[in-house]
Amino acid sequence: MEEILELASKLGAAIANHNRYKSFREAEEQLKKDSVAKEVSEELEKQSKKIYELEKNLKPVEVEDKRKLQQLKEKVASKQSIQNFLKAQTDYVELMTKINDRIEAKLAIKRD
């Protein structure tokens, strides 16, 4: 078991040194510092939840609620810090997915 844990530690260190991980962390920090982006993101999440709950409960969604949601989406799309974060996050998730796929492929070979 110790050998596997050692390999896991090495993999974690390699991931931490990868450009995609570093970019993700930098973008995350920049987003945290952008109070306007944080506020807009929180408003968007709140409005999305409101509409989701209305639809789930088969209640009518007012035109104004839909309009507000669209405006918030546009604000989010216009914030560079949010766009940078989403791009970095996507790249990082892709890296982690490839790593996981590689591990699972090796496990599948061992099952056969």
Alpha helices (runs of H) in 34-79, residue ranges in sequence order:
35-56, 63-78
0.85 exceeded by pTM: no
CA distance 38 to 53: 23
Phi, psi dihedrals of residue 72, rounded to the nearest 5°: -65, -40
**What's the pLDDT band for 109 if we cut at 50, 70, 90?**
confident
- Which residues does 11 contact at the CB level (< 8 Å), separation at least 6? 99
**What's the pLDDT band for 112 if we cut at 50, 70, 90?**
low
pLDDT tens-digit series, residues 5-61: 999 999 999 999 999 999 999 999 999 999 999 899 899 999 999 999 999 999 999
pLDDT tens-digit series, residues 75-107: 988 999 999 999 999 999 999 999 999 999 988
Tell me: pLDDT of 62 over 90.
Answer: yes
The ranges assigned to domains in the chain are 1-33+80-112, 35-78
What percent helix, strand, coil does the chain show, rounded to 5?
Answer: 90, 0, 10
Phi, psi dihedrals of residue 58, rounded to the nearest 5°: 55, 35
CA distance 112 to 90: 33
Tell me: pLDDT of 110 over 70.
Answer: no
